[in-house]
Amino acid sequence: MFALTPTAAEQIARAADEQPDAGPQPMLRVAAKIDESDGELVYGMGFDDEREDDLVLDAGGIPILISPHSQPLLENTTLDFAEVAPGEFQFIFRGGCTEPPAAKSCGSCSGGCS
């Protein structure tokens, strides 16, 4: 199951409050895929609308959308918001991806995931 740390949930809630025309509760889409060029597991996230086959989770009071394709890649993954350098905070994906199909390696995402 996908999870958020309390710190990540707080940062996402702040970002949701700043969304223009977001309605009552913006939903966060979390995605993962295997990069075709190097086999790395790549993560992404952003506010989105629910689609027909999405898995909808409540993680720390934040509605999370995960497409069927991303579900196995995000199994047992936790989204955190952590200090990666003094004064520099980013969203980081931790855990999960024990054996994604065709992946050469996997790990935390610190770039392009904010």
What is the rounded average pLDDT of the residues 24-37? 89
- For the record, the structure tokens of 46 come out as 């952003």
For the chain, the distance separating the N- and C-terminal CA atoms, rounded to the nearest angstrom, is: 21
The pLDDT, as a whole number, for residue 25 is 75
Which 3 state secondary structure label does DSSP give 62?
strand
Which 3 state secondary structure label does DSSP give 36?
coil
Strand runs labelled E in 1-114: 3-4, 27-34, 41-48, 55-59, 62-66, 77-85, 88-95
Which 3 state secondary structure label does DSSP give 71?
helix
Q: How do residues 63-114 score in pLDDT, each as one tens digit?
A: 999 999 999 999 999 999 999 999 999 999 998 755 544 433 334 343 333 3
